[in-house]
Amino acid sequence: MKIAYIFPGQGAQYAGMGKEMYDGSPQARKMFDRADEILGFRITEVMFSGTEEDLKQTKATQPAVFLHSVIMATMLGDRFRPDMVAGHSLGEFSALVAAKALSFEDGLKLVSRRARAMQKACEAEPSAMAAVLGLDEAKVEEICKTVTGVAVPANYNCPEQLVISGSVAAVEEACEKLKAAGAKRAIRLQVGGAFHSPLMESARVALEEAINETEFSYPVCPIYQNVTAGAVTDPALIQANLVAQLTAPVRWTQSVINMVADGATDFIEIGPGKVLQGLVKKTHPNVNAGSAEISY
Question: pLDDT tens across 262-280, in order?
Answer: 999 999 999 999 999 999 9
Which positions ≥6 away from 202 have C-beta within 8 Å? Answer: 117, 120, 121, 124
pLDDT mean by block of 10 residues, the chain; 296 residues? 96 94 97 97 96 87 97 96 98 98 98 94 91 96 97 97 96 97 93 92 95 97 98 98 97 98 98 96 97 88
Neighbours of 215 (CB within 10 A): 10
The Cα–Cα gap between 168 and 185 comes to: 17
Q: Which residues are catalytic?
A: 89, 196
Going along the chain from its start, the domains and CATH numbers come out as 2-123+198-291 (3.40.366.10), 125-188 (3.30.70.250)
Measured between alpha carbons, how far is 32 from 92 in angstroms, rounded to an integer?
20
pTM of the model: 0.96
Distance CA 82, CA 2 (A): 8
**Nearest alpha carbon to residue 55 among 93, 16, 28:** 16
Q: What residues form DSSP beta bridges with 7?
A: 87
At 58 the pLDDT is 81
Residue 191: the pLDDT is 80
